[in-house]
Each structure stands twice: as structure tokens, then as C-alpha cells.
């Protein structure tokens, strides 16, 4: 039997292949979303979960470089804290169970991304003006979110280490925090506008606004 699939790729080749696969997934999901006629936030949460799961697994070779933080932040802005926290849990559990390793740290990852989603919800009116995403403001919050998430996850070492080790651990991880922050800036530039367009088509209309719209019509 011929073993045509036994091809060894270099790390750089594997990374380029993964980026290509992720790009195909993003394109395919965006195209399929356009066929959805009715506004459905739950469908959009599913789409965001696909983005986050695929991006986190495929970009794992790059240290602390993944789109989940920005995706959860956007979910908080458009869909509120509860859905953003649920999305954080879905992505963290799925990726850890399937590929990256599951353990107590998963709970801290969910907490960290959950706080990011809550921040997006809290500052939604500041980040979204007349349905226009304020990219500069989003970029600043994305940078802060990178450090906040990493520091929350770092608390997991307290399960096995003394509290005196926390500060040295945080200082030792600052370079990886910077990788995360730079990655978030890249994902804001790459994903924020297209995802914003998708999410606006499935945005939840607050009850007060919906009542006003009915009254004026």
C-alpha cells in the first residue's frame, strides 16, 4: 500500500497550512450566514464558537496568539454578558477537551474570558456608536483584556503553589502577555469589522427600543 499521506511538514509549513484552513473556515461560515434570512442571535453565537474553537486550535503553535479574547469581547458588546460568558465556556471546554488539555485551569480560562465578555457588555455604549464599532477604543480594551485574561488564568497556580510565587510567575509571563496583546490588535484589525457586520444582522433589539419602534410605526 502506498502511504501518500505520510508527509512531514516543518513547523512553519504547518502554521501556514493551519492559517489557510482557518481562512477557509471563516470564508465558508460568512458565506453561509448570508443565507440566514431571520435574525437569530443563537445562530450567531454558534458561528462565533466555530471561529473561536477553530482559531484557538489551529493557531496553537503561536504562543498566546488566538482570536478568542476578541471574539468574546465582541459577543459581550453585541449580545450582552450572559451570552458572552456562555460562549467563553463553550470555546474553552471544547478546545481543551478536544486538543489542548483539560484540567482545573479550564475553569480559570472560562472566568478570564467571561470577565472579558462582561467588560464588553459594560462598555458597549462606549464601543458602539450608532451601530458603528469604535475600533480605536476596542483596540485599547482588547489590549487590557489580554493582560486581564492572562492574570486571571495565572491564578490557577495557587492550586499547587504558595501565594508568594504568584508575582514572580506574573513577571515571568509578561512576554507572553505582550504576545496576547499584539495578537488581539491583529485580530481587531482583521476580524472586528466583518464580525461586526454579521453580528449587527443578528443583534438583539432592547425591549424599550422595540416598543418605541412599534409605537412610531
Cell 453580528, located at residue: 199
Residue 213 within a domain: no
Residue 1 within a domain: no
Going residue by residue through the chain (217 aa), what tens digit of pLDDT does each one get?
Answer: 444 344 455 766 666 776 777 677 667 666 665 555 556 677 888 889 988 999 899 888 888 999 999 999 999 999 999 999 999 999 999 999 888 888 888 999 999 999 999 999 999 999 998 889 999 999 999 999 999 999 999 999 999 888 889 999 999 999 999 999 999 999 999 889 988 888 887 776 543 333 333 334 4
The DSSP 8-state label assigned to residue 132 in this structure reads E
Q: What does the alpha-carbon distance between residue 202 and residue 112 come to, in Å, rounded to a whole number? A: 25
pLDDT score recorded for residue 208 = 34
Q: Which residues have C-beta within 8 Å of that of residue 32, sequence separation ≥ 6? A: none
Residue 6 within a domain: no
Residue 62 within a domain: yes
Residue 215 within a domain: no
pLDDT score recorded for residue 106 = 92
Residue 176 within a domain: yes
Residue 65 within a domain: yes
pLDDT score recorded for residue 2 = 46
Residue 196 within a domain: yes
Q: For residue 37, what are the domain limits?
A: 11-205
pLDDT score recorded for residue 202 = 74
- The total domain count for the chain is 1
Q: What does the alpha-carbon distance between residue 77 and residue 46 come to, in Å, rounded to a whole number? A: 16
pLDDT score recorded for residue 199 = 86
pLDDT score recorded for residue 212 = 36
pLDDT score recorded for residue 19 = 72
pLDDT score recorded for residue 33 = 57
- Sign of the torsion formed by the C-alpha atoms of 126, 197, 42 and 113: negative
Please give the full DSSP string across 120-187, using - where no structure is assigned: HHHTHHHHEETTEE-HHHHHHHHHHHHHHHHHHHHGGGGGTS-GGGHHHHHHHTHHHHHHHHHHHHHH
65: domain CATH number is: 1.10.1760.20
Asked whether the whole model's pTM tops 0.75, one would answer yes
SS3 7: coil
Amino acid at each position: 500500500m502506498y502511504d501518500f499521506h505520510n508527509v512531514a511538514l516543518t513547523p512553519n509549513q504547518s502554521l501556514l497550512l493551519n492559517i489557510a484552513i482557518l481562512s477557509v473556515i471563516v470564508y465558508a461560515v460568512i458565506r453561509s450566514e448570508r443565507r440566514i434570512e431571520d435574525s437569530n442571535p443563537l445562530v450567531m453565537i454558534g458561528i462565533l464558537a466555530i471561529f473561536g474553537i477553530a482559531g484557538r486550535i489551529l493557531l496553537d503553535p503561536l504562543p498566546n496568539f488566538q482570536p478568542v479574547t476578541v471574539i468574546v469581547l465582541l459577543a459581550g458588546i453585541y449580545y450582552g454578558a450572559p451570552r458572552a460568558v456562555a460562549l467563553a465556556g463553550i470555546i474553552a471546554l471544547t478546545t481543551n477537551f478536544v486538543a489542548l488539555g483539560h484540567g482545573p485551569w479550564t475553569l480559570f480560562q472560562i472566568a478570564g474570558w467571561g470577565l472579558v465578555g462582561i467588560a464588553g457588555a459594560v462598555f458597549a455604549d462606549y464601543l458602539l456608536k450608532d451601530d458603528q464599532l469604535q475600533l480605536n477604543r476596542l483596540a485599547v480594551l482588547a489590549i487590557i483584556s489580554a493582560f486581564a485574561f492572562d492574570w486571571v488564568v495565572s491564578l490557577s497556580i495557587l492550586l499547587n503553589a504558595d501565594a508568594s510565587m504568584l508575582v514572580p510567575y506574573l513577571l515571568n509571563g509578561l512576554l507572553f502577555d505582550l504576545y496576547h496583546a499584539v495578537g488581539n490588535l491583529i485580530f481587531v484589525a482583521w476580524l472586528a469589522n466583518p464580525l461586526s457586520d454579521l453580528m449587527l444582522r443578528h443583534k438583539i433589539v432592547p425591549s424599550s427600543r422595540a416598543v418605541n419602534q412599534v409605537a412610531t410605526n
